[in-house]
Structure 1
Amino acid sequence: MDEQTPALRALAEAGIAHEVTRHGRVGSLAEAAAVRGVEPSAIVKTMVVRRGEGDHLLVLVPGDRQISWPKLRALLGVNRISMPDADAAREVTGYERGTITPFGTLAPLPVVADERVVGRTISLGAGAHGVAATLAADDVVRHLDAQVADVTDPA
């Protein structure tokens, strides 16, 4: 297992306080939350969204929620957005699906964070299966200059 993923290197370089958890693959959100010692809503998924040709962004979604496509389209001022397939997501981020994180991507991408992560301690994937970083969401939002908005619905 790669001890230092690009995400963990990026977090260290950013000087963001975080705790790394290495737990191997998990089968569910509840299992991931249990091994990371957080509530399921504190697990934050990083979703790649395609706004247009060569135009992607990342959306940070609490584990117990899903992207609200109408809310996200309205926020971005676009009529159509989609999720790229796994290969395209890897080409954009450098990470395979299930390991995508906003830290250490191949190139910086705009980030939208659901408003429900603000003010919380969250657990983000850290660039490899079963590797996560637990940290303050406010530090993530500030460092990534993320746009904070209501962009999710209950899962």
Structure 2
Amino acid sequence: MRAHAARLGLDVEVVSRPHARSLAEAAQLLGIEPGDIVKSLVVRRSDGEYLFALVPGGRKIDWAKLRAVVGVNRLSLPDAGQAKEATGYERGTITPLGSTTAWPVFADERIRGRRVALGGGAHGLSTFVDADALLSALDATVADITAEE
């Protein structure tokens, strides 16, 4: 993950963190706001290909919005085994940085202009990165793709 970030020219900080039982607890442990924690969700397209959806804490994928942006009629969340096969990461550790395949990235517009924490590629790790630099480096499509949880 760090090597991929370096190849992309991203300055990342990987930190260890204890297990958290909630988004609020995770944010508190990391010293950030809940919206600065970004979930990297693996989404399966109807053609069997995948994409990453970057979703800020406190929000969830709005499936109609994401389908419209992607330009497809059907999207779904794969099971844990399929997600690991598609990315090389276990659920809860997934990040587009260092994924076994560079799937397209779709990010919610609310993460722009922030320093965010992503999955660190392993349990107990979080990766801090400038969201704008991340979005640019990953050539992400940025749009309103979420709704409040």
For Structure 1 versus Structure 2, the TM-score category normalised by the shorter chain is over 0.9
| Aligned counterpart, 2:45 | 51
CA offsets 1:11-68 (integer angstroms, 9 cap, x no match):
2333311222101322111111111111000000000100124310000000110000
Pick one of 31, 34, 48 that aligns with 2:28. Answer: 34
Instruction: Give the Cα separation in 1 of the matches to 2:9 and 2:120.
Output: 15
Q: Distance in 2 between matches of 1:154 and 1:23?
A: 26
Q: State the aligned residue count.
A: 149
Unpaired runs of 5+ residues, structure 2, are none
* CA–CA separation in structure 1 for the residues paired with 2:37 and 2:102: 22
CA contact (8 A) 2:106 2:140 kept: yes
Unaligned runs of 5+ in 1: 1-6
The residue matched to 1:9 in structure 2 has which SS? helix
Contact 1:120–1:137, Cα closer than 8 Å, also in 2: yes
TM-score (normalised: structure 2):
0.95
| 2:14 alignment partner, SS class | strand
Q: Which residue among 49, 53, 73 is the counterpart of 2:67?
A: 73
The 3-state SS of whatever aligns with 2:82 is: helix
The residue identity in structure 1 corresponding to 2:30 is: R
Structure 1 counterpart of 2:3, which letter? R
CA distance in 1, matches of 2:58, 2:111: 11
Q: Which amino acid aligns with 1:62?
A: P
Q: Deviation per CA, 1:84-118: give whole Å up to 9, x if none.
A: 00000000000010000010000111000100001
- Is 1:93 the counterpart of 2:82? The answer is no
What's the offset of the Cα at 1:130?
Answer: 1.5
Q: Residue 76 of structure 2: SS of its match in structure 1?
A: coil
Equivalent residue number for residue 3 of structure 1: none
2:3 paired with 1:9: yes
Q: Does 1:135 align with 2:129?
A: yes
Q: Is the 8 A contact 2:112 2:131 kept in 1?
A: yes
Distance 1:53 1:79 in 2: 11
Task: Report % sequence identity.
Answer: 52
In the other structure, the counterpart of 1:110 is 104
Provide runs of 4+ in structure 1 moved above 4 Å: none
Alignment TM-score, normalising by the size of structure 1? 0.92
Which of 1, 4, 18 is 1:24 aligned to? 18
